[in-house]
A and B are shown apart, each in its own frame.
Chain A
Amino acid sequence: METLKLRKITSVWIIIVLTLFVVAIVLGILMRLNQGEIIQQSPITFYGNMTTHGLTMIGIWFVAGMAAVNYLLERYVKTSYAANLFALALTVIGVLMLWCSTFIGEFHAGWTFLYPLPFKIMWAEWATPLFLSSLGVLGLGWLVWSISLMAQILKKYSISQAFAWQHFSKNPKVETPPFILITMITLIGVIACLIAAVILLILFFIEYFSNGSFVNDALLMKNLTYFFGHTIANEMLYLGLAVIYELFAEVSGRPKWHTTWYVALAWNLSLIFILTAFFHHLYMDFVQPEGLQIIGQIASYLASLPAAGVTVFSILVAVYRNKINWSLTNLLFFIGVAGWVIGGLGAVIDATISNNFILHNTLWVPAHFHTYNAMGNVLFSLAFFHWFSNQYYHHKERQNTLKLSILLIGGAGFLLAFYIGGAESIPRRYSTYPSDLPMGATLASIAALFASLYLIAILIFFFNISKKCLKILSSSPQSS
């Protein structure tokens, strides 16, 4: 059963995430404005902002998912407050270290910090070890948190129950709630990708301290980098899905969702696909063994089957011709799933090697992952934040249509500019576009405009939700 302490720490997470989100969006808008030639930043500033923007976004939506899952997990098992607090402290410290390396040290190797770029130092000497250490700090906090949550699940459910294997037989004696199944599967993926990051950082530091007498294999480092990067972004989405499985029916006034054999099958299989899909980031590295490239395409394709056939289909079935108590919470969940589907379409297209040949590292890539995030996972988390804060300070929802419309129009325009840019072969990660690709600047200016609309909607959410969360923070046991 949830305690006041858990309520408060979740409120702190929410406020931190929303605050950092606003800052990161502003950095993003500045980037598009620079690309649109409306403002002029030096390339170092641009690329530093790009590095900060990317890592901050991935980080905050990951911890948002973890915080939501931790809070809901308390319904089933006793979670560790210490681990939650530890992760919070290390996240704050890690983010501050990261920002120090980028804003002050001018570190700008990108959020993928692709080896050996962090070692080609065109910034303050200390920024490279500080940046790598910030990742270590973040990773440590998150690893402890993930293992702790998983340990709590395993205290109540055996391994086979946590994987819901008993649902493959008729009339299982113990029921594994879908939330537990998805959380367990997702946490394993999270732990795996954080371990990859640990190995990656160890290899970085060995080379750093060896003063050039040891050199890493660039291909291995790239594989580890994308194992970490792809998987953490993917799992971030799945943490949001766990929340949907738990809350959607409840909020909509529908019967609770149960694990069936096909839900269990889908999620068990998805673990395999997620751990192997990351190869799709290396298609254009012809050095990569061909078998792994093909595994990348097949796994990326197959990952869409449980996603579409189980989760998305379940949401649609739950809503189709059923009386739903629509509120902002489940509307955000529902629209978020649509956004996730659309991002998935762009992703599967790009995960096809022959398409990737002409789309890789164009704006198509940020198009699909910004869709997954800005129109998918962000909405999942906002839905949870809204629901959570409303548990304790309920007030009448006003102007939902207006808030959602601004969010959707802003998001759609911003994303379409990316997709069109990708089709026009505009490169990604360019601080300014060459004069022989004039569409680049035009699309960037339009994108900045729509992104500002999106920001306005987010600010509305930010104020509404943070106000309630601050009240939760200042509440005492009696007032709850």
Chain B
Amino acid sequence: MQQSILMLFLGLLAISIIVFTYVYQSSQKATDLDRGMANPLKSRFWFLLILFVILGIFASVTIPKSPYYFYADETPSRVVHVAAKQFAFVLSNNAIDPKNPVGENAIELLENELVEFRVTSFDVNHGFAIYNKAGQLIAQTQAMPGYVNKLRWKFSEPGAYSILCLEYCGMAHQIMRSSFTVK
């Protein structure tokens, strides 16, 4: 999905550069007799209308795909509790007691089962980001102290997954990570 986003961006980038270059060159070639764009108000109106429609389509298509709605009407078969702290993740099948945080070393999930990650933090804001073995970010949520974020996901590919901290949390932010497997 990231690749299609990049392609979209590069495509629009190319169009923008072409438009600006074309407009610039048209002014280089212009003489004193040239009067510029014919009926700019009408063109402006159409431009705005088209842009508004495009944005409207994007908004109505993408908003329902927001992570707040994922698998909202199914019951998860698995809950993984995640507590982030400077600088490690505690993962557990059971609720994690802040006074005695005990995690499990090897969390194993099943392919295609609905998992609910319940993510919180014991100290500062952290990011709970799931990367697949190809190094691609596939899902994330924030870990905020005093709150629990619930992320529901189904893993369709078995294998090893990494968890990276994706919200700057201090001097070991870049080595704060964990992992789990999907069978």
Residues of chain A whose beta carbon lies under 8 Å from any beta carbon of chain B: 43-44, 47, 108-110, 112, 114, 116-117, 120, 122, 217-219, 222, 262, 283-287, 290, 293-294, 297-298, 301-302, 304-305, 308-310, 313, 316-324, 326, 334-335, 337-338, 341-342, 345-346, 348-349, 352-355, 357-362, 419-420, 422-425, 427-434, 436-437, 439
With A293-B68, A342-B13 as known contacts, state yes or no: A217 contacts B140, CB within 8 Å: no
Question: Given A309-B44, A322-B30, A359-B2, A424 and B20 touching (CB < 8 A)?
Answer: no
Is the beta-carbon distance between A120 and B149 smaller than 8 angstroms? no
List chain B residues, Cβ under 8 A from A298: 59
Q: Is the CB of B27 within 8 A of A117?
A: no
* 8 Å CB interface, B136-182 against A: 136-142, 144-147, 149-151, 162, 164, 166-175, 177
CB <8 Å contact, B23 and A301: no
> A218, A309, A355: which contacts B5 (Cβ < 8 A)?
A355
Which chain A positions have C-beta within 8 A of B34? 321-323
On whether A305 and B48 interact (CB within 8 A), knowing A120-B86, A338-B16, the answer reads yes
Contact A308 B24 (CB under 8 A): no
Q: Which one of B12, B23, B129 has the greatest number of beta carbons of chain A within 10 Å? A: B23
Select from chain A the residue with minimum beta-carbon distance to B58: A352
In Å, the complex CA distance between A294 and B13 comes to 26
Which chain A residue shows the least CB distance to B162?
A436
Shortest Cβ distance from residue B105 to the other chain A in the assembled complex, whole angstroms: 20
Indicate if B94 sits at the interface (CB-CB under 8 A): no
Alpha-carbon separation in the docked complex, A460 to B3 (Å): 37
Residues of B within 8 A of A305 (CB): 48, 51-52, 55
A334-B144 Cα distance, complex, nearest whole Å = 42
Q: Which of A112, A425, A429, A432 contacts B135 (CB 8 A)?
A: A425
Contacting residues of chain B (1-53) with chain A, CB-CB under 8 angstroms:
1-3, 5-6, 8-10, 12-13, 16-17, 19-20, 23-24, 26-28, 30-32, 34-37, 40, 43-44, 47-48, 51-52
Given contacts A218-B147, A301-B58, A338-B20, whether A284 and B36 have CB atoms under 8 Å apart is no
In the bound complex, CA of A114 to CA of B131 (Å): 24
The minimal Cβ–Cβ distance linking B146 to chain A, given in whole angstroms, is 5
Interface residues of B (CB under 8 A from A): 1-3, 5-6, 8-10, 12-13, 16-17, 19-20, 23-24, 26-28, 30-32, 34-37, 40, 43-44, 47-48, 51-52, 55, 58-59, 62-63, 65-68, 86, 123-125, 127, 129, 131, 135-142, 144-147, 149-151, 162, 164, 166-175, 177
Residues of A within 8 A of B166 (CB): 360-362, 427
Contact across chains for A319 and B23 when beta carbons are under 8 A apart: yes
Interface centre among A222, A324, A362, A425 (most CB of B within 10 A): A425
A112 to B168, CA, bound (A): 10
| Complex contact A286–B59 (CB within 8 A) | no
Query: Contacts A309-B47, A322-B30, A425-B131 given: A345-B12 contact, CB under 8 Å?
Result: yes
Contact present for B144 and A287 (CB under 8 Å)? yes
Other than the known A345-B12, A352-B58, A425-B137, what 9 A-B pairs have Cβ atoms closer than 8 Å? Answer: A117-B124, A285-B141, A286-B141, A304-B51, A308-B51, A309-B51, A342-B13, A345-B16, A353-B63
Task: Tell me if B59 and A43 are in contact (CB < 8 A).
Answer: no
Among candidates A114, A285, A324, A349, residue contacting B8 with C-beta atoms closer than 8 Å: A349
- 24 A-B interface contacts by CB (under 8 A): A109-B170, A120-B124, A120-B170, A218-B144, A262-B44, A284-B142, A287-B147, A287-B149, A290-B68, A301-B58, A301-B59, A304-B55, A305-B55, A309-B47, A317-B37, A319-B23, A320-B27, A341-B20, A345-B9, A357-B66, A358-B137, A362-B137, A425-B137, A434-B174
Q: Which residues of B contact A297 (CB under 8 A)?
A: 59, 62-63
A284–B86 Cα distance when bound, in Å, is 20
CB pair B86 A432 closer than 8 Å? no
B58 touches A357 (CB 8 A): no
Known: A285-B142, A436-B135. A117 touches B5 (CB 8 A): no
Is A120 in contact with B123, judged by CB distance below 8 angstroms?
A: yes
CB pair A334–B24 under 8 Å, yes or no, is yes
Q: Are A360 and B140 in contact (CB under 8 A)?
A: yes
Bound CA span A335–B23, Å:
12
Instruction: Point out the residues of chain B lying under 8 angstroms from A342, CB to CB.
Output: 13, 16-17
Contact (A317, B16) CB under 8 Å given A423-B3, A427-B164 = no
* CB atoms of B142 and A286 under 8 A apart: yes
Q: Is the CB of A424 within 8 A of B68?
A: no
Q: Which 5 A-B pairs have the closest CB atoms?
A: A425-B137, A423-B6, A309-B48, A430-B174, A354-B65
Q: Which residues of A contact B174 (CB under 8 A)?
A: 43, 427, 430-434
Closest Cβ of chain A: how far from B71's Cβ, in Å?
A: 14
User: Which residues of B are found within 8 Å of A321, using beta-carbon distances?
Assistant: 26-27, 30, 34-37
Closest CB in chain A relative to B19 CB, distance in Å: 7
Residue of B at shortest CB range from A361? Answer: B166
Docked CA distance A222–B125 (Å):
10
Whether B66 and A361, one on each chain, are in contact in the complex, defined by CB atoms closer than 8 angstroms, is no
